[in-house]
Amino acid sequence: MSWRRRSWWGLVALVVTGAVVALGIGLSGDAKEPTAEPPEPLATTLADLEPATMTVARASFCGEVPTADVEAAVLGGAPSSSASGSAADSTGTSAEVTGTAYADGERAAVTADVTDVAHEFDCTWRTGDGREARAWVFAPPVTAERARELATDAARQQGCRPAAGLSLGTPGGAVSCPAGKGLARVTAYALLGDAWLTCSLTGRASEPPADLVDRADRWCATVLTAASAQ
């Protein structure tokens, strides 16, 4: 997917180091009407991309992620054309998707319980009820040996099980875990070049597991495309 096509969708709002920054990218040049329909959100799977052939940049990539893909991933339904980030989810209920980001060297909430100086580039979009699409890449380079250790640790998380059919790369893995409050989270992670990339999608636990894994696969394809475009 080209930068020009991705940029047609614009960007969701990102909160960076405590300040809300509204970002948007329009068509370049004279902003003529497009001559073709934009692509459907989340149309690409990881199998379409062949992750083993791709290299990820250890840099911020949030601005490369299309708004339509964010909304479709978080809400599980068709995205709206609203610039505000409000859309109807798969149940028809209106929901608002908000985004936050932090970069290497910034003090940030790196987990729900830990605030520290970050050593990664993170993008997170969520709704008020806890549904979430997130991705991050470590700022320092990662060796294959360290990647295998990270993959082993991730697979051993309490309550998690392998997410069958989801593969971001090797060394790497994918797990499906309970996320509390009626939520479930699917996470994929892998070493791509010298970059350790993780993408996760949190949805309602009542959603069929296979559906959440499929949407996570497509979300990770969106993330990989954005992170490898630098």
153/130 Cα distance (integer angstroms): 24
- Supply the pLDDT for residue 39: 72
Backbone angles phi, psi at 155, to 5 degrees: -70, -20
* CB-CB contact of 25 with 84 (8 Å): no
Indicate the helix (H) or strand (E) that contains 123: strand 120-126
Helices marked H in the chain — which ranges? Answer: 3-7, 46-49, 67-75, 144-155, 209-227
Whether omega for the bond prior to residue 171 falls within 30 degrees of 0, making it cis, is: yes
* CB-CB contact of 162 with 214 (8 Å): no
pLDDT in tens, the chain (230 residues): 433 333 333 333 333 333 333 333 222 333 334 445 667 899 999 999 989 889 999 999 999 999 999 999 999 865 543 333 444 455 545 579 999 998 876 665 655 565 655 679 999 999 999 999 999 999 999 999 999 999 999 999 999 999 999 999 999 999 999 999 999 999 999 999 999 999 999 999 999 999 999 999 999 999 999 999 65
Report the 10 Å Cβ neighbour count for 99. 25
- Supply the pLDDT for residue 53: 87
